[in-house]
Structure 1
Amino acid sequence: MTDEKTPAAHEASDEQDERYLVRNPRQIRQLLQAMIDQRSLINAHLAGREQSFPTAILELDDDELLIDGSPSEAANAAAEAAPHLLCFAQLERVTVRFRLDGLVRVRNGAHTGFRADIPEEMIHLQRRELYRLETPVTDSPTCHVPRGDSGGGASFRVMDISGGGISLALPADQHVFSMQQRYPGCQLALPDAPPMTVTLVACNVRTQVMPNGVEIQRVGLRFDDMPRGGDAAIQRYIFRIERQRSARKNGDL
């Protein structure tokens, strides 16, 4: 698998993440406690696998936290064997991402739970800001945009994606979108999920020269309407690509 991002683009992405990185132990504990107080639902993704399960933080002490287990014994066994969990949650509608290491399976009353080390860092995105993933060329989503009532249209590669919107790659001479216009009935197809019907609003367009020298239009669109479960599907795709990139960086792929 290849990635179209240049070293400069990777560096820019890392710098963007740094803006949202929390490493202060007191602030980390405050975020975790707020997640307990607000009963924030967490999607826990098993490292190196596509499997995930919903959970929540139940307790927080000096060095560890306790999360709820899954009703599925297969999921609990997989989590127990996983080297770590990658977690995604919402806190007052703001994205929080963190990694849990040192998982130990325990009994929590009549239920299964997992103790884990308190994370050393967390990504806490600012309000109204969403993490955007630059998609790999060989594993990117596509979006079909209908034209008129004829049932025709065209499909374009998604260059980046977040819970708030997408950017599409269009030929330099192809004019499809008008700024601030709504485009209902678009079909967003993620590589690992069924296509979903979304409404898009065109927000910006700029010219970009690709590494092969080809000039394209990069059109930014926000989601104006998304089906139930759409955001979760997007986050699963983002986590999967991030896991693969992390594995390549660590020499595991």
Structure 2
Amino acid sequence: MRVPMSQGDSSQSQQDHDADHLPEGDERYLLRNRRQIRGLLRQLRDQRAVVTMHVAGRDMAVPTAVLEVDEDDDCLILDGSHNDTSNRAIEDAKYLLCYAQLERVNVRFRLEKAQRIERDSHVAFRANLPDALYHMQRRESYRLETPITDSPVCTIRQEQAQGGDLSLQLRVTDISSGGLAVSLTAGMPLLEPQRTYRDCTLQLPGAAPIVLPLTVCSQHKQTLPNGSEGFRIGMQFSDLPRGADETIQRYIFRVDRQRNARKSGVF
């Protein structure tokens, strides 16, 4: 993707420059988890979001886009400008302040010393992943309520100390980048709070099964749609395997996009 760049880069709107500034001390919105940071940067890439990059020490704002998030090198690739003056300023800057939006929620991060490279015969910039990222979300954690007709399935397995194996295959009722929830109906064995079940499988529609550990972090009674009593179990992703976070984010983005399209009458 090439983002149009103009000679007047420094005349970006004040709204971009002041994009919902947040006090640095507000830890509620500060992410330091590398997996979560990579996930949000990939969403910027997948949604082709415009990233406004402010050059340190200069009154200059350059529109760009995330082209790649490299998990091997822990770096990201950003699009360059058609304006060589802007490219030189980016290359010489000690740091860059970046602002963007995901689903109308502001994202802000700082990049240290970007390296100029060539990508597909165009100027691009390589920078290390930010150490932290502000995601000024309205909710503490966005959780997707899964559609009944297109739900992930979670299989929870664990050898039992008293003999026999635990093997529960459950529909995932909601999912986020940090975990998932399932429902237990009457007669099913309860899961142990704070216990990590290490041999679990998450099957997302249209994707290969993900083998992962899941930790029980919440458990409470609920009334199911058929009127029976059950339990809602919240489970945290303890240690996602390589590439799994991107697969989960793609599923969330796809379902969200389809729902928004239905609401707007596209299909």
1:132 deviates by 1.0
> Are residues 173 and 26 of structure 1, via their aligned partners in 2, closer, same or farther at CA, if it must alter by over 3 Å?
farther
Task: Compute the TM-score of the two structures, normalised by the length of structure 2.
Answer: 0.54
Which residue of the other structure, out of 135, 138, 147, is the alignment partner of 2:146? 135
Gaps of 5+ in 1: 1-23, 32-39, 47-51, 71-94, 100-107, 114-121
C-alpha contact 2:50 2:63 (8 A) present in aligned 1: no
C-alpha contact 1:69 1:112 (8 A) present in aligned 2: no
Task: Compute the TM-score of the two structures, normalised by the length of structure 1.
Answer: 0.57
Give a deviation string over 1:124-151, Cα, whole Å, max 9, x none.
3389x43111111111111111131766
| 1:241 alignment partner, SS class | helix
Instruction: Confirm whether residue 189 of structure 1 aligns to residue 203 of structure 2.
Output: yes
Q: Which is greater in Rg? A: 2
Which residue of the other structure, out of 143, 158, 162, is the alignment partner of 2:176? 162
* Alignment partners' CA distance in 2, 1:62 and 1:248: 40
* Alignment partners' CA distance in 2, 1:96 and 1:173: 45
Question: What is residue 97 of structure 1 aligned with on the other side?
Answer: 102
> Are residues 184 and 56 of structure 1, via their aligned partners in 2, closer, same or farther at CA, if it must alter by over 3 Å?
farther
C-alpha contact 1:178 1:202 (8 A) present in aligned 2: yes
Equivalent residue letter for 1:125: Q
1:183 deviates by 0.4
Task: Give the share of equivalent positions with the same residue, in percent.
Answer: 36
In the TM superposition, 1:1-253 aligns within 5 A as 25-28=16-19, 42-43=41-42, 52=46, 57=51, 59=53, 65-67=63-65, 97-98=102-103, 110-111=121-122, 124-125=136-137, 129-148=140-159, 153-253=167-267
Give a deviation string over 1:34-54, Cα, whole Å, max 9, x none.
xxxxxx8633589xxxxx488
Give a deviation string over 1:90-125, Cα, whole Å, max 9, x none.
xxxxx96247xxxxxxxx993289xxxxxxxx9633
Give a deviation string over 1:183-211, Cα, whole Å, max 9, x none.
00100111132111111111111122233
Give a deviation string over 1:58-77, Cα, whole Å, max 9, x none.
7569998232658xxxxxxx
C-alpha contact 1:55 1:69 (8 A) present in aligned 2: no
* Alignment partners' CA distance in 2, 1:227 and 1:25: 36
Q: How many residues align?
A: 177
Equivalent residue letter for 2:171: R
Equivalent residue letter for 1:137: I
Equivalent residue letter for 1:167: A
* Alignment partners' CA distance in 1, 2:195 and 2:66: 44
